[in-house]
Amino acid sequence: MSFESLKETWANPSNWTHGQLGHEIIGELLEYPEKLHRAELSVIAAKKRVDEIKKQIEIKRNSLLLSGVIDGKNVEVREAQIDAKLNEEKGALSVEKENLERQELNFKLVEDEYRSLLAISRILGNEDF
């Protein structure tokens, strides 16, 4: 049973018995360590991708400065030239940062669902979860 169907069942007490809902919650709770682990791995992978792109940007930036391609006469002009050359990488970084935010939100959602199930189990008198 999914968290969503448990929410629907919980909202309509005439559809459940105390023992039935408790067993369903136990089953759902047993799935959450794996769900939390997968969500956490997704966050870690997204952070790694962001860090890799930042590193690539820094390497390319240094390469541009050392190669003589950037020839602006002052800091502002040189920074504008570098930004123009790193446009693609900065776009990729933006996409990966958005992905990281989604993965972090998903992890928080899974965590909140788990805590909700624990709270419901306590309400039902199953304090030993």
Closest CA to 108 of 40, 41, 46: 40
Identify the pLDDT of residue 15: 58
106's CB contacts (< 8 A; 6+ apart) are 39, 42
pLDDT by residue, tens only, the chain of 129 residues: 566 766 666 566 565 565 666 778 888 889 999 999 999 999 999 999 999 999 999 999 999 999 988 998 999 999 999 999 999 999 999 999 999 999 999 999 999 999 998 888 888 765 444
- Token pair in block for residue 29: 């709770």
- Token pair in block for residue 85: 């050359």
CB neighbour class for 91 (10 Å; exposed up to 12, middle 13-18, buried from 19): exposed
Q: How far apart are the first and last CA of the chain?
A: 18
CB neighbour class for 15 (10 Å; exposed up to 12, middle 13-18, buried from 19): exposed
